[in-house]
Amino acid sequence: MTAPYAIQLDIPIRLWQTTTDRDGVDERRRKRAALRRLARAHWRRARDAGAPRVSRYMLVATIAGRRESPVLACETLKPIIDAGTDEHMWPDDDPFHRILTCYMRGPLPAPGNRPRVSVMVIPVGPRILPPRCILSLLPDARGAIVRQTIPERDWLTSNMRLDPGERDRRQTAVMNRSRTEWERIRMPGGCCVLCGVRYPDSRDEWQGDPDNTAETATALWGAGALLGRAPAEPDCFMFYLLDGQAAPGTHDMMLLTVETPQGFGWPTALVGLSSR
């Protein structure tokens, strides 16, 4: 099995994006294009230094130098991942190759005034299946589940060309719809979130990337945080593709949350999966 490796990028503040920003369509596109150009150079240097092409893999993104929860940085990470595809670091970044993407806070502070992003590529074999492999790392952990079936009119992904007002409306609709679900549970302070996404299409050649739905996922989780039922910042937030097919005109999202022991080292544990 190929060994894991990582790249590290210091992101200019002017290009930083989160799932709660109110940038218009043109500004989002401009920032993405600039981030993609920046990241391509980093992937190219990693490849020239010997980083191998991988086929089936997990990505672990750690964020330093920002106060908000790391999962909100999905909007910044998307063009960085796309840049790896541009540089042929993997066949594609769809969920049949990139089977899991994990966001967490970086262990060290970022220097200066720039956010720092580290992206670790962890090659895995065919036996590694999320979320089973993640749950195997915490066999005795307590957990809870929040499920939502979201109609197309309220579904939101980072690829949609919508104005800020419409994006806000869709996120608010997701939050309001989930109140009843959240009121029946309470998540532990130290926890890992596994966000499973199911699309209304079962064809292998067409599936959206699960973490493209981060604006929907962070709205769903944010509803729990506002109600005091979930911590504002979980230890890590992971995205993966659920089995099966959603009903026509809908998408399914499931937040499976498991308690993590204090001091549990997620990067080390995930790297250990590459040897299975």
pLDDT bracket for residue 204 (50, 70, 90)? low
Tokens at residue 174, please? 């997701």
Residue 4 pLDDT > 90? yes
pLDDT computed for residue 112 by the predictor = 79
Once rounded to an integer, what is the mean pLDDT over residues 171-185? 94
For residue 1, what pLDDT band results from cuts at 50, 70 and 90?
Answer: low
Out of 26-35, 158-167, 203-212, 221-230, pick the least confident. Answer: 203-212
The position carrying tokens 């307590």 is 142
pLDDT band at 206 (very low <50, low <70, confident <90, very high): low
Mean confidence (pLDDT) of the chain? 93
How does strand 250-259 pair with strand 143-151?
antiparallel
**Cβ-contact 80, 9 below 8 angstroms:** yes
pLDDT digits (tens, 9 = 90+) for 133-146: 999 999 888 889 99
**Sole residue written with tokens 């502070």:** 109
- Residue 184 token pair: 């029946």
**Long-range own/partner contacts, residues 171-178 (CB < 8 A, 24 or more apart):** 171/215, 171/216, 171/219, 172/219, 174/148, 174/150, 174/216, 174/219, 174/220, 174/223, 175/219, 175/220, 175/222, 175/223, 175/226, 176/223, 177/148, 177/150, 178/146, 178/148, 178/220, 178/223, 178/224
Beta bridge partners of 237: 103, 193
Rounded average pLDDT over 103-132 = 92
Give me the domains of the chain, ranges plus CATH numbers. 5-128+263-273 (3.30.1330), 136-259 (3.30.1330)
Give me the pLDDT at residue 186, please: 84
Mean pLDDT of 94-113: 90
pTM for the whole thing?
0.95
Contact 207, 198 (CB under 8 A): no
Is it the case that residue 179 has pLDDT exceeding 90? yes
